[in-house]
Chain A
Amino acid sequence: MEPRSTSFYVLSAFFALFVLFLYGPTITIAILSFQGPGGGLTFPMQGTSLHWFRNLFEQQAVGDIWGSFSRSFVLGLMVMVSTVVLSVMGGLAFRKRFKGSSILFYLIITSLVIPSILISLGVGLIFSQSGLNVHWSTSGFGAQLTWTLPFGLLIMFAVFNRFDKSYEEAAHDLGATSWQTLRHVVLPIIGPSLIGVALFGFTLSYDEFARTLLTSGSYNTLPLEIFGMTTNVTTPVLYALGTLTTVFSLLMIGLFLCLALWSARRKARAGSDAGKGML
């Protein structure tokens, strides 16, 4: 190995600063959420306590946090499952050209770049003009899918671009039906990337704000509830809530990453031993 150049150390320092920039503010509010009961929104700390976390568990103090959390969680799971299923189906379909494939492709790009508030406004208008009630599990769910599906599909495109079709041909030659090929050959190979799609599906839905704004109806999701709090809550209870949901997000991300690592390992272990035998 050649020795490290000066630019390596300069760039390392730059990278460290960037990471500090990314995480510093979040760490700051995590520290401040342990503010003593008399403390305010900034330093100095007036002692340390769990006062503000306890506050979160008192229903009257801060609105319907636990209700909105459970709605966000359920909605996240719904969006996650739908994103995975629809993205795999879409990814499989896109391996061949089909009627409307380029229109669909441009729709997906549009869905990704369209300002979120347009989806919110448009879906809200459709529901109100046709006399339907907006609800997080119907209009909110659909509006969020327009944000998660493009990510899921783009990941699937990347996966199938690198997919070796000879595995499927081999399965067909051995007499497997299309379903058997999909179930026993294609899905196990793309399995680890599906965990990535699930991660995007869940977290993007769990944190989505703009597309749910006019489509969730009278029951708020957690990001809407938190945003509502920013206008009328001026105590560190806001930080305590922020810290808790960030910790929750990090746990979910950790879970997905561990799953991905585990399934990649399992695939490596249980995979084919072709070419590794005694020759």
Chain B
Amino acid sequence: MALPIMAVLVFFLVLPIIMIVTVSFWQATEFSIIPAFDLENYEFLFGSNVTYRVFFNTFKYAFITWVFTLSIGFTVAYFLAFHIRSLTWQIALFLLCTIPFWTSNIIRMISWIPFLGRNGIANSTLISWGVIEEPLDWLLFSDFAVILAFVHLYTLFMVVPIFNTMMRIDKSLIEAARDAGASGAQILWNVIIPLTKPGIMIGTIFVVTLVMGDFITVRFMSGSRSANVGRLISNDIALLAYPSASATAVVLLLTVLIVIGLMLRFVDIRKEL
């Protein structure tokens, strides 16, 4: 029964990874790639300052996005799970939060243009309020726009698993805490947050891997002014420099897997479904 799925994953996941690892040792000329066993791509990668800057940028995006998606996602999930009393309303509002996940990311990025542009809604509103005199240039095509788009696209990945774990918390535990004299903040800190940790970890894995592997949001929202590792790879691909793209991809994959490996120590995914 599991054979077909295994076949798909072997052919479209395992073989591509093996291929990338192999090609990362190959050499490239201007118009073709030649099989070889050469560490040149890695030497170049680790010898370049750009690499370290770009990796730092990638972690920076991941960390800032994580902070925002976690705080917003947790608050939303908490509201849905503990303040909405009827199940029907919980499901309806939950669906309202998840519907954008099933629509196009590209279009959701494009839709920030009229908002953040030089003559956009944000600038004209701020000017009409007298907060600023000149339009702000850093709203669109900047790190700010990149992180805004990440938060916009990926907060759902926090809301869903956190809400899921919160819904499984036995309500009598909260009542017991209240009967024992705990304040609202104490209940949140000592009961709800510890019990929600698995959901937080799953959401974190989603957000961190999506942000670290991204190349299109950074390219589009920074107007090609900022770079992360994904963009480094896609630039090499555009130049047909597949061996060097592969070497970068291998390092990125290892980085992501190490990060995930660390996180999986704190949660057993199979138990949480």
Across-interface contacts of B176 in A (CB, < 8 A)? none
CA distance A101 to B212 in the complex (A): 28
- Asked whether B20 lies within 8 Å of A115 as measured between CB atoms, the reply is no
Stretch at the interface among A103-111, A167-175, A185-193: A103-111
- Asked whether B216 lies within 8 Å of A125 as measured between CB atoms, the reply is no
Nearest-CB distance from A44 to chain B (Å)? Answer: 9
CA distance A28 to B116 in the complex (A): 12
B237 within 8 Å of A (CB atoms): yes
A122 within 8 Å of B (CB atoms): yes
- Asked whether B216 lies within 8 Å of A90 as measured between CB atoms, the reply is no
Across-interface contacts of A12 in B (CB, < 8 A)? 79, 83
- Asked whether A118 lies within 8 Å of B20 as measured between CB atoms, the reply is yes
CA distance A7 to B75 in the complex (A): 11
Identify A104's interface contact among B6, B79, B83, B215, CB under 8 A: B6
Across-interface contacts of B213 in A (CB, < 8 A)? 114-118
- Asked whether A125 lies within 8 Å of B114 as measured between CB atoms, the reply is no
- Asked whether A117 lies within 8 Å of B2 as measured between CB atoms, the reply is no
Across the A-B interface, how many residue pairs have beta carbons closer than 8 Å?
236
A249 within 8 Å of B (CB atoms): yes
Identify A246's interface contact among B97, B103, B113, B152, CB under 8 A: B103
Q: Mark B1-27, 1 if CB is under 8 A from A, else 0.
A: 110111011011111110110010000
B162 within 8 Å of A (CB atoms): no
Nearest-CB distance from B88 to chain A (Å)? Answer: 11
- Asked whether A89 lies within 8 Å of B4 as measured between CB atoms, the reply is yes
- Asked whether A29 lies within 8 Å of B15 as measured between CB atoms, the reply is no
Enumerate A24-56 residues with CB–CB distance to B below 8 Å: 24-26, 28-29, 32, 41-43
- Asked whether B1 lies within 8 Å of A89 as measured between CB atoms, the reply is yes
CA distance A145 to B121 in the complex (A): 39
A107-B13, A115-B213 known; A86-B5 Cβ under 8 A: yes
Across-interface contacts of A1 in B (CB, < 8 A)? 85
Across-interface contacts of A101 in B (CB, < 8 A)? 2
Nearest-CB distance from B258 to chain A (Å)? Answer: 12
Across-interface contacts of A227 in B (CB, < 8 A)? 106, 216
- Asked whether B104 lies within 8 Å of A246 as measured between CB atoms, the reply is yes
Q: Mark A80-108, 1 if CB is under 8 A from B, else 0.
A: 00000111011011100010110011011
Identify A126's interface contact among B19, B184, B273, CB under 8 A: B19
CA distance A7 to B83 in the complex (A): 9
- Asked whether A89 lies within 8 Å of B20 as measured between CB atoms, the reply is no
- Asked whether B230 lies within 8 Å of A117 as measured between CB atoms, the reply is yes
Most buried by A among B5, B17, B102, B103: B5
B180 within 8 Å of A (CB atoms): no
- Asked whether B121 lies within 8 Å of A43 as measured between CB atoms, the reply is yes
A123 within 8 Å of B (CB atoms): yes
Q: Looking across the interface, which residue of chain B has its beta carbon closest to that of A35? A: B114
A41-B113, A114-B13 known; A25-B108 Cβ under 8 A: yes
CA distance A118 to B20 in the complex (A): 8
Q: Mark B212-241, 1 if CB is under 8 A from A, else 0.
A: 111110001000000000100110010000
7 closest cross-chain pairs (CB), A and B: A122-B16, A115-B213, A93-B1, A25-B111, A93-B2, A203-B102, A142-B12
Q: Can you list 11 A-B contacts with CB-CB less than 8 angstroms, sorted by A residue number? A: A1-B85, A11-B79, A14-B76, A42-B114, A93-B1, A107-B13, A115-B214, A214-B237, A230-B110, A249-B104, A253-B99
